[in-house]
Amino acid sequence: MKKKNPKNKDLIGKQKYTVSDSNSEWVLYHNNFSLCSRKVRICLEEYKIDYLPVHIHIIETKDCENLSKDFLKINPKATVPVLLHNNQPIYESHEQIRYLMETFPNKLGESETVDYWNKKGSLVGDDPVSGIKEYAGNCVSLLTQPLFVSMLRKISFFKFFNYFIKHPSKFRALNFTLYRLLGYSVFNKNSPHQRVAIKAFENLKSHLTSLDGHLENKIWIDGDKFSIADITWMTLLHRLDEVNLVELFTKKLSNLRDYYSRLKNRESFSSCIIEFNSEAIDSGTKNLREDIQKVSNLKHLYNNFETNPLP
């Protein structure tokens, strides 16, 4: 099969050409911090697939390897993860997971319930704000903003200039540049970012309360069978842990608390999330926890979350 450099910026799913000469059947270009990368790593672990991991730094983890010439030959959209099967690329994490499920049927639970809760936990659409009433994944994406600020503040302005110039998504690049320039002041009282975060939190309360009710007398989302929906919520709940919000929900939603405990005890949680931690992730989460207590506008935002009762 002929090796080819992808040109189409709207690439999605498995392609017919190859982009690598690897001897490994499966290769995953991923990032330690990326939620989508975490989901695909967990799927590969749950399927017990041997794969070659290739870590790609993104700006949050202190570099822009996703914008390098070498990686843009793999994916011109500059996003991770990219899964290769026999050197053929599969683009977009939901397509990668679908491909795994089709290649290895019946290994993970599949049902209408799984589909519903998997989509409910996904980030859907190009604008996260537009989907916060329907999708918990959109809410969590918006609530990750304080952690982005914490992780980005030590990145040099020179690196950010290159990031902004080279990144194909100028909307994302602009937001991240604002985080770097303005820091936590983007969350000043009544600022657009503060209002969006509060709306996201309010909608997330509804999503998690619904999940808590669904989990009554269940081990996993689809009963006794672990599924892709559980993988999706594993990554979401852990991200809420990273942004210091998960306990606001688990202390009042007992089914959700017990469910998250079971997820954390699963081997794939340890091997695909915890073991992939890095200094950038650890310092970012640590600094955020400290800043919540001492940075006034951030403290005000989190106080707003804490005083906003569950439905």
The answer to whether 81 and 27 are in contact (CB under 8 A) is: no
Q: Return the pLDDT at 68.
A: 95
Task: State the pLDDT confidence band at 126, using cuts at 50, 70 and 90.
Answer: confident
CATH number listed for the domain at residues 112-306: 1.20.1050.10
- In Å, how far from its chain's centre is CA 45? 17
What tens digit of pLDDT does each residue of 93-118 get? 999 999 999 999 878 878 999 999 99
| Rounded percentage of the chain residues whose pLDDT exceeds 90 | 83
Q: Is residue 227 classed as helix, strand or coil in its secondary structure?
A: strand
Mean pLDDT across the stretch 65-80?
A: 95
What tens digit of pLDDT does each residue of 1-44 get? 555 556 655 688 999 999 999 999 999 999 999 999 999 999 99
Backbone angles phi, psi at 227, to 5 degrees: -140, 175
Cβ contacts of 298 within 8 Å, gap of 6 or more: 146, 184, 187, 291, 292
The answer to whether 84 and 44 are in contact (CB under 8 A) is: no
What tens digit of pLDDT does each residue of 135-174 get? 999 999 999 999 999 999 989 988 888 888 888 888 888 8
Q: Return the pLDDT at 5.
A: 58
Sign of the Cα pseudo-torsion (285, 289, 290, 296, in order): positive
Q: Domain ranges in the chain? A: 13-103, 112-306
What tens digit of pLDDT does each residue of 224-237 get? 999 999 999 999 99
Q: Return the pLDDT at 169.
A: 82
Backbone angles phi, psi at 220, to 5 degrees: -125, 175
Cα distances (Å, whole numbers) of residue 196 to 130, 193, 199, 241, 297: 11, 5, 5, 20, 15
What tens digit of pLDDT does each residue of 264-282 get? 999 999 999 999 999 999 9
Cβ contacts of 26 within 8 Å, gap of 6 or more: 44, 49, 50, 51, 52, 83, 84, 85
**According to the CATH classification, is domain 13-103 in 3.40.30.10?**
yes
Q: Do domains 13-103 and 112-306 have the same CATH topology?
A: no
Q: Return the pLDDT at 4.
A: 59
Q: Return the pLDDT at 107.
A: 81
